[in-house]
Amino acid sequence: MRLYLTALNPTDSVTGGFLPAARTLGLDVTLLTDQPERYAEVEALRTDVRDARAVIDTIARHHPPDAIFSNSDHIQPETALAAAYFGLPGKDWRACLTAKNKYLTRRALAAAGVEHVRTALVTPGQPPPDLPYPVVVKPREGVASEDVMLVREPGELRRVTAEIAERRPGAALVAEEYLAGPLHTLETLGDGENTRVLGGFRTTLGPLPYFVEERLDWDPRHGDDAAHVLRVLGAVGAGFGACHTEYVRTADGPRIVEVNYRLIGDTCDFLLAEILGVPLFEHVLRVHLGEPAPDVPPAVTHGAALSLVAPRSGVITRTPGDVAETIGAARLRHRPLRAAGDTVELTNTNRDYLGVVRAVGPDAAAVDGAIDAFRARTPWVVE
């Protein structure tokens, strides 16, 4: 059976997750990408993966497909259209587009009566929209917390949108009411008929006005929140494959921040797989091969991921390197994202990560102790 996997730049999820999972399943893999030279370990064909017509054409001239899949934020609609063209299991391209476009997400949820969060498109140089302040301004189709900021009055909104427009010419921006409360995630896997709740994380953010995710702690106590998130996914149409949904527990109940129609990122997909004790990447691929989403037993371990954020701009002079070890009762892994000698320029986004520490153990105390011990022994140094 042949799997076509569409991708842009290499990610841990693809190179360390889905490609090994495909080999375990005995699949022949063809990777379609605009950067084939960066994928030496697999057959890679140069394709404009942002164009569904190009993806379809490349596949039609190659081997017949049994599954067409992507874990990329940016090319879900194109991949879904290609899967539909060949009559294969896949996501609805409209759901992919709605999830990616934050304005369309809000519009779909309001139309379905699931939740109402005031939001508006923002045009630099035009009068600010009539919204209750403070508001959050962000790119309509942004990722990695880039250019996401809390603003407290109309004048600041005008200034911030002008600055973002200078960095992102032509990018559409949205502003929406600020959702106060703890930030959580819900991870799901669906087959088009049934959506399995895998669990979720409690997210710790860095200081406002930015929204940099610094830590995720496993939190299986999602309770009624899961029912609300499932209604959200139903309204968006996101019921096939993996989905990573972020929401805030507000005083009025859960409210969605965004729907990411893919696995959780920043190596937390590996953490999720280890906490659950299941071959998560294989489960996702099996769904795209037409198999039902499996039941996943509740986790019996605890886990956390700490993103090590650069404390300042400068040059990295010391790094712990790639580490896998056992500390007490916890298994710990440090994945460096930068190297000694690299120059860091702070952006106040997830791009400021130096590395990610993941730990899994029997309880929170074991996990916290392992992370604290590792950080104290092997710090990053930026001078």
Write out pLDDT tens, residues 4-62. Answer: 999 999 999 999 999 999 999 999 999 999 999 999 999 999 999 999 999 999 999 99
Q: Cα separation of 181 and 202, whole Å?
A: 11
Tokens of 56: 């379809």
Q: What is the mean pLDDT of residues 118-128?
A: 90
- At 192 the pLDDT is 96
Find the angle CA(46)-CA(50)-CA(53) to the nearest 5 degrees.
80
- pLDDT, residue 196, reads 97
Q: Is 81 exposed, middle or buried (0-12, 13-18, 19+ CB in 10 A)?
A: buried
What is the pLDDT confidence band of residue 273, given thresholds at 50, 70 and 90? very high
Domains and CATH numbers, the chain: 2-88 (3.40.50.20), 118-177 (3.30.1490), 183-382 (3.30.470.20)
Rounded to whole angstroms, the Cα distance separating 234 from 256 reads 13
CA dist 268 and 289 (Å) reads 24
CA distance 6 to 96: 15
In whole angstroms, give the CA distance from residue 33 to residue 45.
6
What residues contact 109, with CB distance under 8 A and at least 6 apart? 115, 116, 117, 232, 235, 236, 256
Displacement of CA 11 from its chain's centroid (Å): 12
* Sequence-separated (6 or more) residues with CB below 8 Å from residue 191: 89, 240, 287, 291, 292, 293
Range list of H helices, 101-204: 102-111, 154-167
Q: Is the peptide bond before 362 cis (omega within 30 degrees of 0)?
A: no
- Mean of pLDDT values over 317-337: 96
Mean pLDDT computed over every residue of the chain: 96
